[in-house]
Structure 1
Amino acid sequence: MSAAADASRRRLAALAAMLATIALGLASRHWPDALPSALGKYPGDALWALMVLFGWRALRPRARTRDVALLAMATSVAVEVAKLWQAPWIVEFRHTAVGHLLLGQVFSWQNLVAYGVGVLAGIVLDRLLLRIAAA
């Protein structure tokens, strides 16, 4: 298989995984009672970071898993820290459905832990997807 075809298969697999992760994340918020209440909203946060990882994989299909994971974690941390910035226009955007889903609203250290869990899961799943896409 050519390198271009391999990259296309990886990109397609990552986009499919990203869409599945979005569906799971939305479901975790829509039906929170399906998960143990002790987990709170954190499964959705872990899935958000996992979605970011798959997004980076789609953008960089030939990158090493470690590099994609670092990009996903850096993106997740940057978005979380950006919640401390309270410019009126971004606060207004965060109060929209899309803004809330993309950026969240309130900074939380616990979210960083959830993002780490999502990225760790992403490392395992990314390697699995790379094997599947290569087959």
Structure 2
Amino acid sequence: MIRRLVSNYPISSYRAVIFFTLGVIIPLGFASKFYQGAWDWWVRDYAGDILYEIFWILLIASILPKSSPFCIACGVFSATSLIEFFQLWQPPFLIEIRSTFWWHMLLGSTFVWWDFPHYFLGCVAAWIGLRLVRSNLFFTKSP
């Protein structure tokens, strides 16, 4: 029954899996910023970077479900890397914007080289996850 439903509505099923995963990733991302416990410095500073990348890749894949997961991951990595480099620029208006919680969560506030490997890990994890979902459940080919 489920297999038949999936084969009849592959994009809707694909989006359902993405939305479920987003429902897990978003609270984990926010929780990572307030975590206190073992390795709390890493969880607060870097685990959130991995989840941030996964979030954006899943969001874009839900909007553009026929797009290549690899292309989405490369685009997200490029965009978030550009945002990271923009953190080197500290004009007063951006400092003011970044001082609010939501903009700080979206844009960050300081440039850190160690964010890049974690961005990469998040992109690779999301790319592999989307490929598995696409190839095993819904689509015949996943580039």
Which TM-score band (shorter chain)?
0.7 to 0.9
- CA 1:16/1:107 → structure 2, altered by over 3 Å: closer, same or farther? same
TM-score by length of 1: 0.83
The aligned runs of 1:113-124 (5 Å cut-off) are 113-124=117-128
Contact 1:14 1:129 in 2 (8 A): no
Cα offset for 1:132?
Answer: 6.5
| 2:68 corresponding residue in structure 1 | 64
CA distance in 2, matches of 1:47, 1:77: 15
Specify whether residues 121 and 69 from structure 1 end up closer, same or farther in structure 2 by C-alpha distance, changes over 3 A only. Answer: same
Shift of 1:37: 4.3
Query: Which TM-score applies when normalising by structure 2?
Result: 0.79
* Aligned match for 1:73, one of 70, 77, 96: 77
Give me the whole-angstrom Cα distance separating, in 1, the residues matched to 2:98 and 2:28: 21
Segments of structure 1 that go 5 or more residues without pairing to the other structure are none
Q: Which amino acid aligns with 1:25?
A: G
Larger deviation: 98-107 or 7-16?
A: 7-16
The ranges of structure 1 where at least 4 consecutive aligned residues each deviate by more than 3 angstroms after the TM superposition are none
Give the RMSD, CA atoms, in angstroms.
2.2
DSSP-derived class of the 1:109 partner: coil
Gaps of 5+ in 2: 1-6
Q: What does 1:39-50 align with in structure 2 at a 5 Å threshold?
A: 39-40=42-43, 41-50=45-54
Aligned residues: 132
